[in-house]
């Protein structure tokens, strides 16, 4: 079973900057890249998007290059082996991509790079001349004996500290999870990768909006994506929420469509959103799934009295993608070696 952490487990602070969850990464010539996006949907570490990477005494230019793409864009550049420190965790032989070209959306700026912490199978073929997977940062922590178990956990800080219960300070912990942050039992789910995408995919039993089942019957295909802010729903569940509240409509910010509720509806009138998984229910109140007005400026939303939500459409690819807006209210645990993912309510 997944292991609990001790106080000696290495950890690092996380920052929720609305469109990106970031962790500081130190590498190169002792440089700290403050705005590295923590991504559960990829498995590759690269920097140099805005802060220049300068090789240090431990930097080895491999002569190889990398290239990878995301839903949001892409990056290419040179490959180094280097010492990398994240919080109190340090490894000495980690592949680090140094980007010389990126194509990423403006809402991620300022951005220094990506720290991918999915399964390493998804990074095969990304480095020129290497067709096999290469170590993620967590893989290397185990290989170099920094941690005993290939597991990590995170507390995602909330963008709306007025709505509880959730923490205002974020943290990633390597090698286990902090039982003191857990209320009740951890729900453990098997990771499934039916399409060989090596992501944190699992099945959910159902999704409810109030008392109404808004998902299909049977297992739902779901993943977590800390690289996205939205609570992404397939088109059927998305439209079911819109149709459940008179006057609800769709709006668009950039390329993303999401649901807004009318100004004449109070938050007390809006039902909770509930995910049922592993025999446990994880519930968001209306206050929790509504975008706080403090986030409007960065999202280019005009405060017109309507209630803008984190519910976005992801088409037909999955039943749901649980992004930062969902993850910030629950403790999440990522067990690489046992291929399990865990969720718990905060203590």
How does pLDDT run across 23-72, given as a tens digit for each residue? 999 999 999 999 999 999 999 999 999 899 999 999 999 999 999 998 87
Residue 313 has pLDDT above 70, yes or no: yes
Task: Tell me which of 14-18, 277-281, 289-293 is least confident.
Answer: 14-18
| In CATH, 182-346 is 2.40.70.10 | yes
Residue 168 has pLDDT above 70, yes or no: no
Quick one: average pLDDT of 148-171? 78
Q: How many Å apart are CA 87 and CA 13, to the nearest integer?
A: 7
pLDDT for position 91? 98
Q: How many Å apart are CA 167 and CA 330, to the nearest integer?
A: 10
Options 2.40.70.10, 3.40.640.10, 3.30.1490.150, 3.40.50.2000; CATH of 11-155 = 2.40.70.10
Quick one: average pLDDT of 153-167? 71
Beta strand pairing call for 11-16 and 45-47: unpaired
Residue 194 has pLDDT above 70, yes or no: no
Residue 295: CB partners within 8 Å, gap ≥ 6? 18, 159, 160, 301
Q: How many Å apart are CA 37 and CA 47, to the nearest integer?
A: 10
Which residue matches tokens 């998305």? 238
Q: Are 231 and 310 in contact (CB under 8 A)?
A: yes
Domain layout of the chain by residue ranges: 11-155, 182-346
Residue 133 has pLDDT above 60, yes or no: yes
Q: Count the alpha carbons within 13 Å of 294 in the hemisphere toward its beta carbon.
A: 8
Of 49, 18, 54, 56, the residue nearest 34 (C-alpha): 49
pLDDT for position 107? 79
Give residue 2's pLDDT band: very low, low, confident or very high (50, 70, 90).
low
Q: Which two tokens stand for residue 304?
A: 């017109």
Residue 160 has pLDDT above 90, yes or no: no
**Percent of the chain whose pLDDT exceeds 90:** 75
Q: How many Å apart are CA 182 and CA 274, to the nearest integer?
A: 19
More confidently predicted of 122 and 140: 140
Q: Are 61 and 80 in contact (CB under 8 A)?
A: yes
pLDDT for position 326? 96
Residue 83 has pLDDT above 80, yes or no: yes
**Rg of the chain over CA atoms, in angstroms?**
20
pLDDT for position 167? 52
Mean pLDDT of the chain: 91
Give residue 120's pLDDT band: very low, low, confident or very high (50, 70, 90).
very high
Residue 6 has pLDDT above 60, yes or no: no
Residue 5 has pLDDT above 70, yes or no: no
Which residue matches tokens 């300070």? 169
Quick one: average pLDDT of 109-121? 93
Alpha-helical regions (H) of 14-111:
none
Residue 199 DSSP one-character state: S
Residue 306: CB partners within 8 Å, gap ≥ 6? 260, 261, 262, 263
Q: How many Å apart are CA 112 and CA 25, to the nearest integer?
A: 9
Q: How many Å apart are CA 208 and CA 187, to the nearest integer?
A: 18
Q: Are 37 and 24 in contact (CB under 8 A)?
A: no
Q: How many Å apart are CA 343 and CA 222, to the nearest integer?
A: 13
Give residue 134's pLDDT band: very low, low, confident or very high (50, 70, 90).
very high
Residue 161 has pLDDT above 80, yes or no: no
Q: How many Å apart are CA 2 and CA 334, to the nearest integer?
A: 9
Residue 298 has pLDDT above 90, yes or no: no
Q: Which two tokens stand for residue 34?
A: 């403050």
pLDDT for position 159? 76
pLDDT for position 250? 94
Quick one: average pLDDT of 161-165? 55
Query: 209-234: per-residue pLDDT in tens?
Result: 999 999 987 899 999 999 889 999 99
């Amino acid at each position: 079973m997944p292991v609990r952490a001790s106080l000696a487990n290495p950890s690092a602070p996380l920052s929720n900057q609305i469109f990106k969850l970031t962790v500081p990464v130190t590498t190169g010539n002792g440089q700290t890249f403050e705005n590295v996006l923590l991504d559960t949907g990829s498995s590759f570490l690269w920097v140099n998007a805005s802060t220049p990477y300068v090789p240090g005494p431990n930097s080895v230019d491999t002569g190889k290059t990398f290239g990878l793409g995301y839903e949001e864009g892409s990056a290419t550049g040179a490959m180094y082996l280097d010492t990398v420190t994240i919080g109190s965790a340090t490894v000495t032989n980690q592949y680090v991509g140094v980007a010389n070209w990126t194509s990423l959306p403006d809402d991620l700026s300022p951005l220094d790079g990506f720290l991918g912490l999915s399964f390493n199978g998804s990074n095969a073929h990304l480095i020129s001349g290497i067709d096999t997977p290469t170590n993620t940062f967590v893989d290397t922590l185990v290989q170099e004996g920094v941690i005993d178990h290939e597991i990590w956990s995170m507390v995602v800080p909330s963008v709306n500290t007025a709505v509880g219960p959730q923490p205002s300070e974020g943290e990633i912990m390597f090698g286990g999870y902090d039982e003191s942050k857990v209320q009740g039992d951890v729900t453990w789910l098997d990771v499934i990768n039916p399409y060989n995408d090596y992501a944190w995919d699992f099945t959910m039993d159902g999704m409810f909006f109030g008392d109404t089942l808004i998902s299909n019957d049977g297992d739902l295909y779901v993943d977590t994506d800390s690289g996205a802010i939205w609570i992404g729903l397939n088109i059927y569940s998305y439209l079911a929420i819109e149709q459940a509240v008179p006057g609800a409509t769709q709006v668009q910010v950039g390329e993303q469509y999401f649901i807004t509720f009318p100004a004449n509806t109070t938050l007390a009138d809006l039902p909770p959103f509930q995910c049922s998984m592993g025999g446990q229910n994880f519930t968001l109140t209306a206050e929790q799934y509504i975008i706080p007005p403090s986030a409007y400026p960065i999202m280019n939303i005009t405060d017109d009295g309507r209630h803008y939500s984190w519910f976005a459409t992801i088409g037909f690819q999955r039943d749901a993608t649980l992004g930062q807006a969902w993850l910030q209210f629950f403790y999440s645990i990522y067990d690489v070696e046992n291929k399990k993912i865990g969720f718990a309510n905060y203590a």
